[in-house]
Amino acid sequence: GQQVMQIPQYQHVQEGEDFTTYCNSSTTLSNIQWYKQRPGGHPVFLIQLVKSGEVKKQKRLTFQFGEAKKNSSLHITATQTTDVGTYFCGGPTTSGTYKYIFGTGTRLKVLA
Amino acid sequence: GAGVSQSPSNKVTEKGKDVELRCDPISGHTALYWYRQSLGQGLEFLIYFQGNSAPDKSGLPSDRFSAERTGGSVSTLTIQRTQQEDSAVYLCASTPDHLNAAFFGQGTRLTVV
């Protein structure tokens, strides 16, 4: 079945350092979405990428969708303690019932 | 309502008892999902409802788990004869359709003792 892997699983950074998480799907994705889950919270939608090669920015966050629509990345510039949480990529499968599947998540800790 | 609502927020039950978890999706959202998240882990897909189509139950871990969605709105996830390994946060999400962002509820934290 379709699988979505994320690396790294965990990342500790000093405040002010950059951070990147990578999302890799075993098959082509219709679109890719990124979510952030704060400790003790629920996943909250950040952004959706649809087009091959698409790049979107939200303040210090930059999202990319690969040319083959099988991978994506999230880059945070100059991390802050408010960036702490787990970042999930996910999206609908391209066949069958189009259910949403999510990556394994990357847990980010920012040390002040 | 304004968001996805789940109840109860916390549930402690004895091993072997049945539990029902409720999800009230955003009005008008045709797709509804149930996920399970164990402590520090990812989102495990359980079941997916889309409109009037037959649900995708491919993620249900055993026949002790079942879910229904009445009238295309509220959904109930039922776990029969609960086991300790069922302890987790159960998250519900809804979307306008299968291509749009998912909106999650706050989850139900289930503890089986």
pLDDT number for residue A32: 93
Q: Could you confirm whether domain B5-106 is CATH 1.10.3720.10?
A: no
Residues of B in contact with A31 (CB under 8 A): 99
Q: Is the pLDDT of residue B73 over 70?
A: yes
Return the closest-CA partner of residue A8 out of A24, A26, A31: A24
Phi-psi region of B29 (alpha: psi -120 to 50; beta: other; left: phi over 0): beta
Instruction: Give the confidence band of B17 by pLDDT, cuts at 50, 70, 90.
Output: very high
Q: Average pLDDT of A48-76? A: 96
Strands B88-95 and B103-104 turn out to be antiparallel
**Confidence class of residue B1 from pLDDT cuts 50, 70 and 90?**
low
**pLDDT of amino acid B91:** 97
Band of residue B12 on the pLDDT scale cut at 50, 70, 90: very high
Nearest CA in chain B to A87: B42
Is B56 in Cβ contact with A44 (below 8 Å)? no
For residue A19, the cross-strand partners are: A76
- Which pLDDT does position B40 carry in this prediction? 83
If one compares B58 and B17, the residue with the highest pLDDT of the two is B17
| Domain residue limits, chain B | 5-106
Q: Does A11 touch chain B (CB under 8 A)?
A: no
For residue range A94-107, list pLDDT tens digits in order. Answer: 776 777 888 989 99
pLDDT value at residue A94: 74
Mean pLDDT for A46-67 is 96
Average pLDDT estimate for B33-41: 92
Q: Which domains does chain A have, with CATH numbers?
A: 4-111 (2.60.40.10)
User: Do B102 and A103 lie within an 8 Å CB cutoff?
Assistant: no
